Structures are given as C-alpha cells and as structure tokens.
C-alpha cells in the first residue's frame, strides 16, 4: 500500500464493511456527493455478519424482502428467509453497483482512533493483517475529518470460560469461525448453546453426525418460521411491477411492527400467542417424549430472550442420534465433556461446536478510542456504554456509531435501524464537509446533559419492557439488569426520532457559522416502510393486476 498523501488522508473513515459501513458509504455518495471516504475492514469480504457466519444452516430470521436496504430492493430473493450465501452475494452486488470496492481496504484492522484537537481530525491506527503490504509496514495512520464505527454488536465471538476447554484435543469451532474443511460426517459432536445460532446449526449437523449432544443451559421460546421458496412467477411479478414488491415489503413491516407487542411489551395477548404456537409445534414435533418437552419449555415470558424462529429445531431434537443435555457442564477433558447434576456423566466427543454467542456488551471492542482532551471511550463508558440516540458519544467529536448502544431489536429488521442512523449521521457529516470545502474546520459532539436525559428516558422505558424481566438473563442486558443493547420502542418510533437533527443538542465549534439553522432543527425525513391508508386501499387493484400478470406470464409456457 502506498502511504502517500491520498492514502493517509480522507474526509470520512468508516470501520467495517457490513450493512452499517456500506450504508453509510452509499449515503455519503447519495446525500453528500462525497467520494472521499475509506472503508477499513478487518476481513477479506463485504458482508460483516453475513461473511463471518458461514456455519451450516445460517440464514436470516427476518424475511429478506424487509431485511435489505429500502433503496436496493431485490426482486429475486429465492426464499422468504434466504441463506447466508445469498444475503452476502446481494451485499456484494450492492457494493459493486455503488463502486464501493475502490474505497474498501480489506485485511485492515483499526486498533485505535485518536482525536487531534488542533487539527480537528481523527488519527486512525490501521493494522495490516498479512500479505505483501504487511511486509513493508504493519501499521499506518489514516487521518479523517469524521470517524464512523460500523463494527456491529455481534462481531466478536464469545468463548465460554469452561474449565479444561483449552485441553480438548478434538476439533473446536466457534459458530462464527466455521471450518468447512473439517468433515462432520460420522463424528461424535457436541454443541454448547441453544440460541438462534445453535437452532440453525443443530438440524444440519444432526443429519451428518453419528451423534449430537446439545448442551442447553436455558430453554428458548421457538415459533414456526414458515420458510418457503418464492416462486418464479412471484419474482417476475416483483421485477416487472415494483409496486407489488413494495407493497409486500410494507406488509412485512406492518407484521414485524405488530410483533413488537409480542416480543417487547409485558403481559400482552400476543405473548400468549407465542406460547401457544411454541407448545403446539413442540407437541407436533416431539409427540411422545414429555420429559424432553418439559426440558424445552421456558419459565420466563417470550421476548425476554430472543424468540427463535425455526421449523426444524424441535424435529431435530427428536432424532434418535440427538440428545439434549441440561445438566450443568463441569469441565472439558482431552476427549470429553463432563456434566454434574444428579448423575455425573462423561460425554466422549470428537468435535465441539461453541454456539455461545458474542461479546455484546463491549461495544467497539477491542479498539481504543480517545476523544476531546484525550478522554478514552472506556472512561466515558466506565459506568455503562451509552450514546445519544445510539449514534453519538460524549467527548467524541465528529464521531458516529451505527448499530451502537440501545439500537438492537427483538421484533424487526436491524437494517431499518441502520438506514435511519446512516441518514442521520450523514446530516452531521454534511456540515463538516461544507465547512471543509470553505477551508474551515468544524467539530460537533453531543452535549453531555442531552445524552444524560435521553438515556434516563430510554432506560425508564426499557425497565418497563419484557427485556428487563428478571426471570431471564440475555445478551441484551448486564448481570445487574441494565439493558445496553436494545432500543425501547418500535422501528417507526426510532425512525421518527431520527428524522430531525436538533442542532441545540450539539456542542459546535464552528468558525464559519455553518450551522445555518443553529438553535432550530433540520428535517431530514425517514423512509416510510409501514403501509399507508392509500396502499391498503390499493391492495385489491394490485392483487388483480398480479393475477393478470401471472396469467399472462404463465399462459404461453403452459401451452408449450
């Protein structure tokens, strides 16, 4: 890598090439006509979550017609819930379309960001992992006017602290670091965990392994996913009549927003619906094993932990080669996992799969970020990670986070949150770019009092949500019960909040008075995803035209 001026200076540095990083980059091009940006990605591909998680069975649990950018619809999704490979391919095609590859530096890990008060720029330490570039310089500094973190909440695998794990002599794989060269066929396999990831791996591994032991600590509520292929005629209709595809997206949005009542609000009738669906599916899938069904039935309310969507999890547990183990794990030896409980037992295995989740509470880990007056992010967050609207942090000028503290959901697509964040942050970046064009340096950061009152309001609401229920522990909250990861409302509420930038919420060092609307706000709008009254009324017309279209499309083929 040539470390010339152009390579070490940029207007915006974006960390991560997942949905967050690529969305911010596209908005820079669309909204700010800015192509002076760099995306630093520690991996070798675009996709983030969708390039890291290649385990068998990996797919989304929000329909891809909603789990995708509103501005890059794909008429051609093959299924309601496509596989990881299909989602990643789509993300690659979007990155290609927008010409992002020339901005992405792969194999580049950010270890530090340091705000330079005088120059009003970030000094970003970039480590080159391997390859020819690393031979002549393993690290360099990139200077940027604005720094964006798009590293997500689920990118650092969590390895459990279990006595003896390091002594195991067989194969160990974390779900997010799957080794496809290892053949599962004919192996005695154990999997620790039964969350959303394990629920996807178990049915696939069960088909190949000679035996599979699932180590479950806490059961989960599981509802049918009802995955189906999307027919060619439907895909063709989506392609030629985009209004039908758009309508489908808004119907999915309505359905998902309704699910908020089930996932996040205590004591609703929708929660009873989840209990009923789960227990009925369990009874259908495991008809003659009441002991197994009892072990799989949670005692906490649905939504307290993530509700799992799966059609094949319960049937897999009912297979003769699969055992559900609920006794606590005592230790791991060279060749086995031993459990305590009424009868201690040693389970001999060849392969251990850790579906134990991610380090979700150390946002931006392990990067070191230093803001105004050298203040570190770990100092700002010494009580708990928090941000203004999930995107801006105290003492961190010209800095933004996507999918940051309190922006995760239990009921809808994270991509919708990311789009709102990207639009909002691009409004801030726009001011910095305008100042730069005029040869001036502009710095803005959220006011501490604003962050405090926002988080007070947020935490009060969250404490009334299902996530706070003390009957469960989850990756959403600390052991003390503070919810760090989740947003408190619906997506529409979040989008509405993010549709305005109120400049009085920011401390602004503005030598050129670029905040033309200081004291007021800029209305930046939002993507309206939910159905409008008009859309609902037009449903009849659309259904009619799609039937006509499908007929016209299929008629010549049926005659052949």
Ligand X SMILES: NC(=O)c1ccc[n+]([C@@H]2O[C@H](COP(=O)([O-])OP(=O)(O)OC[C@H]3O[C@@H](n4cnc5c(N)ncnc54)[C@H](OP(=O)(O)O)[C@@H]3O)[C@@H](O)[C@H]2O)c1
Ligand Y SMILES: Cc1cc2nc3c(=O)[nH]c(=O)nc-3n(C[C@H](O)[C@H](O)[C@H](O)COP(=O)(O)OP(=O)(O)OC[C@H]3O[C@@H](n4cnc5c(N)ncnc54)[C@H](O)[C@@H]3O)c2cc1C
Binding stretches for ligand X (CB under 6 A): 60-61, 154, 160, 162, 175, 192-198, 200, 215, 217-218, 306, 329, 355-357, 473, 475
Token reading at 217: 């600590």
Tell which positions 91-110 bind ligand Y, by CB under 6 A.
109-110
Partner touching 160 among ligand Y, ligand X, none, CB below 5 to 8 Å by kind = ligand X
Least gap, CB of 360 to ligand Y (angstroms):
10
Q: How many residues does the chain have?
A: 560
Least gap, CB of 198 to ligand Y (angstroms):
11
- Does 58 contact ligand Y by CB under 6 A? yes
Partner touching 67 among ligand Y, ligand X, none, CB below 5 to 8 Å by kind = ligand Y
Q: Identify which of residues 67 and 514 has a Cβ nearer to ligand Y in the complex.
A: 67
Query: How many Cβ atoms from other residues are within 10 Å of residue 557's Cβ?
Result: 9
Least gap, CB of 367 to ligand Y (angstroms):
5
Partner touching 316 among ligand X, ligand Y, none, CB below 5 to 8 Å by kind = none
Least gap, CB of 66 to ligand Y (angstroms):
9
CA dist list (Å): 283 to 287, 297, 307: 5, 11, 18
Partner touching 150 among ligand Y, ligand X, none, CB below 5 to 8 Å by kind = ligand Y
Of 37, 38, 56, 67, the one binding ligand Y (CB under 6 A) is: 67
Partner touching 109 among ligand Y, ligand X, none, CB below 5 to 8 Å by kind = ligand Y
Partner touching 16 among ligand X, ligand Y, none, CB below 5 to 8 Å by kind = ligand Y
Least gap, CB of 86 to ligand Y (angstroms):
13
- Does 490 contact ligand Y by CB under 6 A? no
Least gap, CB of 192 to ligand X (angstroms):
5
- The Cα 293–Cα 281 span in angstroms is 11
Partner touching 43 among ligand X, ligand Y, none, CB below 5 to 8 Å by kind = ligand Y
# chain residues binding ligand Y, by CB under 6 A = 32
- Does 405 contact ligand Y by CB under 6 A? no
Q: List, in sequence order, every residue forming a beta bridge with 358; answer none if it has no partner.
A: 157
Tell which positions 197-236 bind ligand Y, by CB under 6 A.
197
Residues in Cβ contact with 398 at an 8 Å cutoff, skipping those fewer than 6 apart: 115, 120, 122, 145, 146, 147, 428, 432, 442, 443, 444, 445
Residues in Cβ contact with 258 at an 8 Å cutoff, skipping those fewer than 6 apart: 270
Least gap, CB of 255 to ligand Y (angstroms):
14
Encode 361-381 in three state secondary structure: CCCCCCCEEECHHHCEHHHHC
Q: List, in sequence order, every residue forming a beta bridge with 368; answer none if it has no partner.
A: 112
Q: DSSP assignment, residue 413? A: -
Q: Identify which of residues 187 and 306 has a Cβ nearer to ligand X in the complex.
A: 306
Instruction: Check the CA dihedral 415-417-418-422 and report its sign.
Output: positive
CA dist list (Å): 460 to 451, 464, 476, 490: 14, 7, 15, 16
DSSP-derived 3-state class of residue 35: coil
One-character DSSP codes across 323-361: EEE-SPEEEE-SSEEEE-SSS-EEEE-SEEEE---B--S
- Radius of gyration (Cα) for the chain, nearest Å? 25
Least gap, CB of 550 to ligand Y (angstroms):
29
Q: Identify which of residues 196 and 380 has a Cβ nearer to ligand X in the complex.
A: 196
One-character DSSP codes across 89-142: HHHHHHHHHTT-GGGEETTEEEEEEEEETTTTEEEEEEEE-SSHHHHH-SEEEE
- Does 24 contact ligand Y by CB under 6 A? no
Which residues in this chain contact ligand Y in the complex, by CB under 6 A?
A: 15-21, 40-43, 48-49, 53, 58, 60-62, 67, 109-110, 150-152, 154-155, 197, 367, 402-403, 413-414
């Amino acid at each position: 890598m040539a470390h010339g001026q152009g390579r070490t200076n940029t207007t915006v540095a974006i960390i991560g090439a997942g949905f967050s990083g690529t969305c911010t980059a596209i908005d820079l091009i669309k909204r700010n006509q800015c192509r002076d940006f760099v995306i630093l990605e520690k991996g070798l591909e675009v996709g983030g979550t969708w390039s890291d998680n290649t385990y068998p069975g990996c797919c989304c649990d929000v329909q891809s017609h909603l789990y995708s950018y509103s501005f890059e619809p794909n008429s051609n999704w093959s299924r309601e819930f496509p596989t990881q490979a299909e989602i990643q391919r789509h993300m690659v095609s979007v990155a290609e379309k927008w010409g992002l590859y020339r901005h992405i530096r792969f194999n580049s890990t950010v270890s530090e960001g340091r705000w330079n008060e005088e120059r009003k720029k970030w000094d970003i330490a970039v480590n080159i992992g391997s390859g020819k570039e690393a031979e002549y310089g393993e690290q360099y500094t990139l200077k940027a006017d604005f720094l964006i973190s798009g590293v997500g909440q689920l990118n650092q695998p969590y390895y459990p602290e279990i006595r003896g794990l390091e002594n195991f002599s067989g194969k160990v794989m974390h779900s997010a670091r799957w080794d496809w060269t290892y053949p599962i066929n004919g192996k005695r396999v154990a999997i620790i965990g039964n969350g959303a990831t394990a629920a996807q791996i178990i049915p696939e591994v069960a088909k190949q392994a000679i035996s599979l032991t699932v180590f479950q600590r806490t059961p989960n509520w599981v509802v049918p996913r009802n995955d189906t292929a999307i027919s060619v005629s439907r895909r063709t209709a989506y392609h030629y009549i985009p209004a039908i595809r758009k309508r489908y997206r808004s119907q999915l949005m309505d359905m998902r927003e309704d699910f908020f009542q089930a996932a996040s609000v205590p004591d609703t009738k929708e929660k009873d619906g989840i209990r009923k669906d789960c227990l009925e599916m369990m009874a259908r899938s495991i008809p003659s094993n009441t002991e197994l069904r009892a072990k799989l039935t949670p005692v906490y309310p649905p939504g307290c932990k993530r509700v799992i969507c799966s059609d094949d999890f319960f049937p897999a547990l009912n297979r003769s080669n699969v055992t559900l183990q609920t006794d606590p794990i005592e230790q791991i030896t060279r060749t086995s996992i031993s459990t305590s409980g009424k009868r201690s037992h040693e389970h001999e295995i060849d392969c251990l799969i850790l579906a134990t989740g991610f380090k979700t509470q150390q946002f931006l880990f392990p990067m070191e970020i230093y803001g105004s007056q050298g203040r570190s992010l770990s100092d700002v967050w010494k009580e708990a990670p928090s941000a203004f609207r999930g995107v801006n942090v105290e003492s961190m000028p010209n800095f933004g986070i996507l999918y940051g503290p309190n922006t995760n959901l239990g009921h809808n697509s994270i991509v919708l949150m990311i789009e709102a964040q990207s639009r909002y942050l691009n409004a801030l970046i726009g001011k910095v770019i305008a100042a730069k064009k005029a040869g001036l340096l502009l710095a803005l950061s959220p006011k501490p009092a604003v962050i405090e009152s926002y988080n007070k309001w947020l935490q009060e609401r969250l404490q009334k949500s299902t996530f706070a229920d003390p009957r469960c522990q989850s990756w959403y909250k600390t052991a003390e019960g503070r919810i760090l990861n989740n947003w408190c409302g619906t997506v529409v509420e979040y989008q509405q909040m993010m549709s305005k930038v109120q400049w009085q919420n920011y401390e602004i060092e503005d030598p050129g008075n670029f905040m033309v609307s200081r004291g007021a706000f800029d209305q930046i709008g939002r993507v309206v995803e939910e159905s409008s009254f008009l859309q609902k009324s037009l449903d009849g017309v659309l259904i009619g035209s799609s039937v006509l279209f499908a007929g016209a499309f299929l008629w010549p083929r049926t005659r052949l």
